[in-house]
């Protein structure tokens, strides 16, 4: 899928973990979380690790949870005792670049889940170390990373089974339920904070490698205090089950436009998505995404009015024999609905790409020469 950005973005400051601090001042109210790293975009885009163009998905429908999971607060003491052994501090070094983040041990053989932006600066030639809650440390290898979802997997050569954090189900998470965040904010290992789930289904674009954009799809929003260094750490429920990977926070700049710490708006990659990507990285070292086979841009209001639609995605090109072409779509078509959701932004395409697999079908409504039609696209494998 070739999805151009909605608008140009300012060059991110130190968009890779551990890059030396950049003195260039930019307007920012969202910040990613590796230590000593500030990444910013223009306020006009309303994000860094935020809501591009103001686009937010509707809250996802969740199954009912037990009353106990939705009332009061977690017993953070019990949660910390059970979970902290499976949470590590991740440190990277590559020449003059250095940084600190967090990670979660998800397999007893020594596989560790973290964010791509935590380790990106050391992905080619640097060193990555992890510090365990009992104080010992070890160098680890990079198994694989996925800049699109901002996730990565590390591996430690373990002589014995390691303590892990049990995976929960982010599909069962409900707004208002208590949660606990664990990680290394500002490099302070084994830090524990508590809060609630503030919202669900946030689609949060963040700058990624080589001026690309990662998408935190269906992110869990929480008011649990998380700060730079918490990236890659655990967001767990009251049973100590991993429901998300802490990845981004909202910040409010001061008069000097320097980002501050937590203001009670943090975002975590839901574990249902993170686990699927982690499994692929462990098995193959890469992530295979499906694709539509189109290049699309959102219609400006005047263009939408001229075409007689409220909004939509204008297909600049359609790959010959690609999934969209096989479904009958043509260049200059205007996609108005994807799975009955308004196609108001390329973020809709990105969300489908990140959450589906090749072979899945997507219903599409489109306008051609003033006539509305519909078709079904069977997603393909990226060539």
What lies within 8 Å, CB to CB, of 196 at 6+ separation is: 176, 177, 178, 179, 222, 223, 224
Alpha helices, DSSP H, located in the chain: 67-70, 76-83, 116-119, 271-284, 301-307, 323-326, 346-355
* Six-digit token string for 59: 């809250």
Burial tier of 305 (Cβ tally within 10 Å: 0-12, 13-18, 19+): exposed
Q: Count of CB atoms within 10 A of residue 176's CB?
A: 12
Among 30, 18, 10, 101, CA closest to 259: 30
What lies within 8 Å, CB to CB, of 3 at 6+ separation is: 295, 296, 346, 349, 350
Q: Which of 91, 117, 149, 272 is catalytic?
A: 117
Q: Which of 10, 150, 223, 333 is catalytic?
A: 150
Active site residue 138: no
Cα separation, 356 vs 358, whole angstroms? 7
Q: Is 60 helix (H, G, I), strand (E, B) or coil?
A: coil
Active site residue 58: no
Active site residue 117: yes
Facing residues of 87 across strands?
A: 104
Q: Which of 231, 262, 295, 345 is catalytic?
A: 231
Active site residues: 117, 150, 231
């Amino acid at each position: 899928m070739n999805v151009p950005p909605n608008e140009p973005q300012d060059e991110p400051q130190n968009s890779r973990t551990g890059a030396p601090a950049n003195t260039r001042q930019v307007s920012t109210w969202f910040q990613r979380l590796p230590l000593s790293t500030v990444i910013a975009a223009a306020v006009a885009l309303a994000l860094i690790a935020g809501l591009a163009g103001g686009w937010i998905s509707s809250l996802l429908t969740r199954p009912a949870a037990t009353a106990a999971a939705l009332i009061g607060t977690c017993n953070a003491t019990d949660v910390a005792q059970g979970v902290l052994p499976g949470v590590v501090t991740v440190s990277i070094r590559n020449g003059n670049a250095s940084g600190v983040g967090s990670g979660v041990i998800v397999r007893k053989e020594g596989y560790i889940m973290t964010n791509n932006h935590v380790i990106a600066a050391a992905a080619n030639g640097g060193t990555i170390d992890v510090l365990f809650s009992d104080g010992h440390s070890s160098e680890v290898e990079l198994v694989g990373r996925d800049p699109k979802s901002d996730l990565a997997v590390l591996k430690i050569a373990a002589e014995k089974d390691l303590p892990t954090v049990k995976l929960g189900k982010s599909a069962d998470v409900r707004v208002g339920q208590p949660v606990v965040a664990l990680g290394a904010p500002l490099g302070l290992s084994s830090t524990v904070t508590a809060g609630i789930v503030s919202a669900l289904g946030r689609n949060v674009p963040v700058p990624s490698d080589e001026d690309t954009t990662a998408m935190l799809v269906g992110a869990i929003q929480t008011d649990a205090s998380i700060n730079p260094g918490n990236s890659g750490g655990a967001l767990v429920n009251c049973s100590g089950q991993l429901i998300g990977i802490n990845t981004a926070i909202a910040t409010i700049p001061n008069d000097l436009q320097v980002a501050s710490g937590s203001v009670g708006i943090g975002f975590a990659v839901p574990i249902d998505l993170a686990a699927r990507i982690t499994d692929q990285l462990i098995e193959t070292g890469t992530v295979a995404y499906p694709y539509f086979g189109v290049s699309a841009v959102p219609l400006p209001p005047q263009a939408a009015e001229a075409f007689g639609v409220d909004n939509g995605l204008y297909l600049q090109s359609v790959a010959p024999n690609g999934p969209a072409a096989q479904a009958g779509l043509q260049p200059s078509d205007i996609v108005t609905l994807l799975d009955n959701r308004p196609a108001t932004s390329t973020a809709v395409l990105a969300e489908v790409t990140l959450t589906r697999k090749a072979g899945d079908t997507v219903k599409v409504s489109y306008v051609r020469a003033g006539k509305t039609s519909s078709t079904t696209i069977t997603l393909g494998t990226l060539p």
